[in-house]
Amino acid sequence: MTAFVSQPAPNRPDLGPLPPFGRAALLLDMDGTLLDIAPTPDQVVVPEELPATLHRLRVALGDALAVVSGRPIEQLEALLGDAPFALAGEHGGAIRHRPAAEVERAALASPDPAWVRQAARLAEAHPGVLLETKQHGFVLHYRAVPELGPLLHEALTDLLGGSPAFVLLPARKAWEVRPAGADKGTAVAALMRNAPFAGRLPLFIGDDVTDEDAIIAARKLGGAGLRVPEVFGNPTSVRAWLARAAETGAWPGL
């Protein structure tokens, strides 16, 4: 059996120290961090070893491991099973604080159905654009036709008409319309107020602009936030780093 020994990790000076392994809570983005980006959201592949790695880390961290994603919680459960202890979905709009617990949903606005219909017409008019609907928003993916990014941004900006109840966010070759009032930063804060996260120091890892609020929240709570492109390069390296942490009971150097 591997002996888990908590010790400070050597780290790049510009990143600052990571929370000591024995006092850390690990919060992870999904797409682009744990999983490689796929052409469409339903085509992602979960590497065979990933759930076991996450579960080993969960045990080593006293269950203080969560996934914080833009995906609905039901998708996260289907993809990762019971590997994470807690899940935050829809950019903080829904949180499951522990396995089998009821999902807490924030009181958020839902988009005007006319907006969703217009987004569907945009997708139909531009082959390669994919509409993904969520409980409180929607996403237009343009990975297959990256040249359409500016056109879709302009169309969605006009569609929202400056509504203060919604924000338009860039993602990986996608534009997401989601309600104001919840983000991954509020999700991190909410998770850290409850057991088994309370009293620990958060380490959040994410890859794009939707993760910035979580990175800021983790740092404000005395922890650390790491950006995949700058620190790891890609999800393969993130998974390898997490596997080494699970094996040694300490954060590998960065």
* Same domain, yes or no: 95 and 60: yes
**Average pLDDT of the chain to the nearest whole number:** 90
pLDDT, residue 165, reads 87
**16 is a domain residue:** no
pTM, 2 dp: 0.84
> pLDDT tens, 126-176?
999 999 888 788 999 998 999 999 999 999 999 998 888 898 988 888 899
> pLDDT tens, 36-84?
998 888 899 999 999 999 999 999 999 999 999 989 999 999 999 999 9
Q: Which amino acid is at 203?
A: L
Structure tokens at 107: 């009181």
Whole-number percent of the chain with pLDDT over 90: 70
Classify residue 35 by its DSSP letter: B
* Same domain, yes or no: 140 and 190: no
* Same domain, yes or no: 117 and 43: no
Q: How many domains does the chain have?
A: 2
Which of 127, 160, 179 delimits the end of a domain? Answer: 179
Residue 121, domain extent: 113-179
Give the dihedral sign, CA 31/34/38/40: negative
* Same domain, yes or no: 167 and 198: no
pLDDT, residue 15, reads 67
Start-to-end CA distance of the chain, whole Å, equals: 26
Classify residue 91 by its DSSP letter: G
Q: Which helix (H) or strand (E) holds 114?
A: helix 113-125
Which residues are designated catalytic?
29
Q: How far is Cα 86 from Cα 64, in angstroms, rounded to an integer?
A: 8
Q: Is residue 214 within 8 Å of 198, Cβ to Cβ?
A: no
CATH number at residue 156: 3.30.70
> pLDDT tens, 92-129?
889 999 998 999 887 778 888 999 999 999 999 999 99
